[in-house]
């Protein structure tokens, strides 16, 4: 998570977070601090909603609840889950496109057979009825090919949109993984990556 508050606002949120942890009798752990800082800064609507529900139900807020909220809404595991989910979606998209490409290859092969058959069927002494039948067969096969190509085009367009969305998700996850949660500065992992370049 990225933080970009002014010093005054950050001090206010930090004071509120520490005071609330003390009031609730919570351990002053970095995770608890981050959870309450995020709550008072209003940086994550899910965190705010979850805590507000606990307060509205007059529930005592415990370290265990704070750990669960942090794990659910703020932890690095969530970013790892986003990356895993994006990888699965990419695999599914590739599988769908591969299946359609195979269908188009099969349809193209069948179309080539049809054209070859037409070539063999055509002759100078064909009656008009036979010519009409051959032309109808070619038209039917051509329409099938056009439909397959349109389907492939639509699927590729859809896949491109999905891939762009996934790329943005991965970029966000990578950026968040390389940024310190409290300071918004590059973390050690980011430093090590830059050194290796």
> Could you tell me if 33 and 17 are in contact, meaning their C-beta atoms sit under 8 angstroms apart?
yes
pLDDT at 38: 92
Phi and psi torsions of 132, nearest 5°? -60, -40
Same domain flag for 173 and 96: yes
Structural domain total, the chain: 2
Q: Residue 51: is it exposed, middle or buried by C-beta count within 10 angstroms (0-12/13-18/19+)?
A: buried
Residue 161 placed within a domain: yes
Q: What is the pLDDT of residues 9-65, one digit of tens each?
A: 888 988 999 999 999 999 999 899 999 999 999 988 989 999 999 999 998 999 999
Same domain flag for 46 and 90: no
Using CA atoms, how far apart are residues 178 and 79, in angstroms rounded to an integer? 11
Using CA atoms, how far apart are residues 172 and 165, in angstroms rounded to an integer? 11
Same domain flag for 94 and 66: no
**Containing domain of residue 37, as a range?**
7-73
Model confidence, pTM: 0.44
Same domain flag for 60 and 133: no
Q: What is the pLDDT of residues 94-113, one digit of tens each?
A: 888 888 888 888 888 888 88
Question: Which residues sit opposite 179 in a β-bridge?
Answer: 186
Residue 122 placed within a domain: yes
């Amino acid at each position: 998570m990225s933080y970009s508050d002014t010093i005054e606002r950050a001090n206010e949120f930090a004071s509120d977070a520490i005071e609330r942890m003390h009031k609730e009798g919570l351990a002053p752990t970095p995770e608890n601090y981050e959870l309450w800082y995020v709550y008072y800064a209003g940086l994550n609507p899910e965190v705010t909603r979850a805590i507000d529900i606990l307060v509205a139900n007059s529930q005592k807020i415990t370290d265990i609840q704070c750990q669960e909220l942090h794990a659910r809404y703020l932890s690095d595991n969530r970013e790892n889950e986003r990356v895993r989910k994006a990888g699965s979606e990419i695999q599914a998209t590739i599988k769908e496109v591969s299946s359609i490409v195979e269908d188009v290859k099969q349809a193209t092969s069948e179309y080539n057979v049809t054209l070859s058959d037409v070539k063999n069927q055509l002759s100078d002494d064909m009656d008009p009825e036979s010519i009409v039948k051959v032309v109808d067969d070619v038209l039917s096969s051509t329409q099938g090919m056009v439909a397959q190509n349109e389907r492939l085009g639509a699927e590729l367009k859809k896949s491109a949109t999905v891939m762009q969305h996934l790329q943005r998700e991965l970029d966000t996850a990578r950026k968040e993984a390389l940024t310190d949660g409290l300071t918004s500065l590059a973390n050690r992992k980011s430093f090590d990556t830059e050194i290796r370049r």
